[in-house]
Structure 1
Amino acid sequence: VRQDDLQDEVSCSICLEYLKDPVTIDCGHNFCCMCISDYCERWSTAGAALCPQCRAGFLQSTFRPNRQLANIVEGFEQLALQTDKEPMEKLCEKHGKKLHLFCEDDGEAICLVCDKSREHRSHTVIPIEEAAQDYKVGLRQFLGPAWFLPLQEKVRARRELIVAEFAKRHQALEEEKQLLLQRLEEDEEETLRKLQENTAFLVEQSSSLVQLMSEIEQKCQQPAADLLRVRPSWAHSVIIFPFLVDVTLDPSTANAYLLLSQDQQRVRVSEKRQDVPNNPERFDTCTCVLGRQRFTAGRHYWEVDVGEKTSWTLGVCEESVSRQGIFTPSPATGFWTIWLRNGDEYAALTSPLTELMLRVKPRQIGVFLDYEAGEVSFYNVTGSSHIYTFHDTFSESLRPYFYPGVRAGGLNDAPLSLQPGTE
């Protein structure tokens, strides 16, 4: 092995000088501690960098001082100095003779006179060329493959750890993928089922409409006088009644001055305050009450018997409407309602109010909610006619709303009565 090759092994590839305070990084290469530290400060990311020689990744926190290599470098420097000064051959400081021998006990070069002296007589002394050769062999062994075996084992273990960790993550991702695909398949099946149900419903409605058209055509053939005597309630039944639902009153929302029937189908105003809990769902000022039902989709129809009452308010409202204090019902505040005041004043509670002119005083009011279409419609069941339709967009649960009005000295004492949800 040439001295130049060995000199490369004990030199830093960054500063190209002999290794000073050598440290070893993960890949096994050695550098001056200061050189590799400066390199990491310039090129590392989050404490990780690439080896300047082999480009393998390493962490700054894993630097390992290499004391044994530092001693070998020091010895190599001494040998190099002796070689460099061979033309000016260094002499023994005590005797002025050439240094032909090397004392292994004291670790220094000596002359022939020193070897015979009492100081070195019992020491192990070898020719200086042989000592230099031993140092070179030791350096080659230290820098050879065997020295890297522990480091290679650590690198192999770390590589296996990384592979296992990514395999575990891949398995977790695969399981999550399968779960999402399963949910997607279930959603697809549920959507298909609903489509099939809707298709069956539309077929049924189509048949009803065909029947309705046939009846209309037949009635159109009747004499005018007979036709005018026919009430259109049959059309109302065919189109609206398939969506008829049972609505009951929710006592937890009823104002303390309201009386609810035991079956929760009727409500009227009382002269006395009832002994009820002061829960947050209850209307504390307005004498109104909500239905138990909450609608978030679909079409729903219910009827309310208003009889000869002189005032009332009916419709739907959002679940989140204010229950405290005085409020003005309108779509802006989450209410879609119509009212009667003073016995003959009907209005839709828009902003401003929309006055309604009814030919026949209704004794029963029908309320029809089409959630997806954003429509709330009111019908005069007594006169078999449409009263008014709100058009809006709904974003939360809607509940039936009932206000039986004030007592008016007993003139408006009659209850609001819900009709059973059957044809």
Structure 2
Amino acid sequence: MSAASCLLSEDQFLCSICLDVFTDPVSTPCGHNFCKNCINEHWNSNDQYLCPLCKKVFNTRPELHINTLLTEVVSQFRQEAQQKASSSSSEQQAAKPGEVPCDVCTGTKLKALKSCLVCLTSYCETHLEPHLTKSVLKRHQLMDPVENLEDRMCKKHDKPLELFCKTDHTCVCLLCSVLDHKTHEFVPLKEEYEGKKAELGKTEAEIQEMIQKRRLKIQKIKHSVDLSKEAADREKAEGVQVFTALKESVERSLNELIETIEEKQRTTEKQAEDFIKELEQEISELKKRSSEVEKLSHSEDHLHLLQNFLSLKAAPSTKDWTEVSVRPPSYEGTVAKAVAQLEEKLSKQMKKLIELKRVQQYAVDVTLDPDTAHPDLILSADGKQVNCGDVRKNLPDNPERCSLYHCVLGKQSLSSGRFYFEVQVKEKTKWELGVARESINRKGKITVSPQNGYWTIWLRNGNKYKALAGPAVRLSLKSQPQKVGVFVDYEEGLVSFYDVDAATLIYSFTGCSFTEKLYPYFNPCLNDGGINSAPLIICPVNQTV
């Protein structure tokens, strides 16, 4: 009997009405077991004789007999439970934070093992023993320890809340189901619990999805902030560059103004010095004449006075200073003129910036086409950089590939509208940039010119720039471009090149007639033993202002 009881769980020895271990278990004709007193009270309080579990209705009240086999098994189970409680009593521990303490313990509160829904009290193993041994207490309903036991009891009937009323959506006791909620639909708490738990699982999944969406939104917002910061930093850097140039222009104009004023003053001072020097010279001569006249006037020698009288009487050789004067230069309008000139310079500078900004709005994302690259060229994995290597690669000589000149075309083409891209040429001594039409001769030797389908400019020897206009046009640049912008207006027939940092126009091909696709054209030229090894780099376009 002991071995058999060990295979059974505690739930199998509980009456489904009182939820306690069976006392005098009886069996109904439908095969279900209940405490004898529990089933009799149940039938006494109902109009029908039905099984509380399967709801089978009996026309007449069944005659109940004690289930002797179940009684034996229950008895054995009680004994084993008591032995187990006794052997484990020494292992009891004080209740930790978050655990339910025993309500009976004084001093140190031990951890509760069970809670009684009848007594509304939680018991440790020691204080639970009467509920396992005394017949009166055995009928009480025990459950895993919980706090606030009074919340689990029906306020009206003082019975455990065992059922869920689906009509009123509330937890009720057995008496509620036959009195106040007689016509309502009920399910066991466990069944409703499982359903609601499934709903909570679905709700939790929905909440997690909402959380994930909001996290993604946070990422997007943070990304937008990062983009904004990058744009702000870019604008600040460009603003510093522009206003530094403007400041330098103002300082140059101020220095020129001061130099103009000082030059006028120096000229006036020089004129005055020259006049004074000449006057002092004449004064010196006149003093000498005065001395000679005075000396002669005191002479007693009649002959000597008469012989020298005429020469001393004659007017000295001096300049007529009557109309001579030093007129202070007029400074009126000097500042206004300087300001006007500065305004003109600033206006031209702003026009340059606005013009560059206008073409930059047509920026396209250009990448290099490896199928068109000369075998000596080395292209980066992202298709944004190209330089010339020392070893020729063994590549298929497809029709698109340039096999004579060290050039490569972009993947993107233009057959209408406008487009713009920028290329870094920093640290290079040779390069060639522009656009080429689709039908260019990619295999043979030709002259690079618009007549042959090329609209390009180049650098040679580190400082010689030309527009290959056929014949070539020499370009005089104030500074060496570090980044070159290329703009094409297909319908206008225009190809323009800009020094991006200086915001100045380098050269424009005008009046062009385009009849087929145009491709960006790049030629990094030979690396000259490492002197020209820097790559041409296609750069992202940042609005200048």
TM-score (norm 1): 0.46
TM-score (norm 2): 0.36
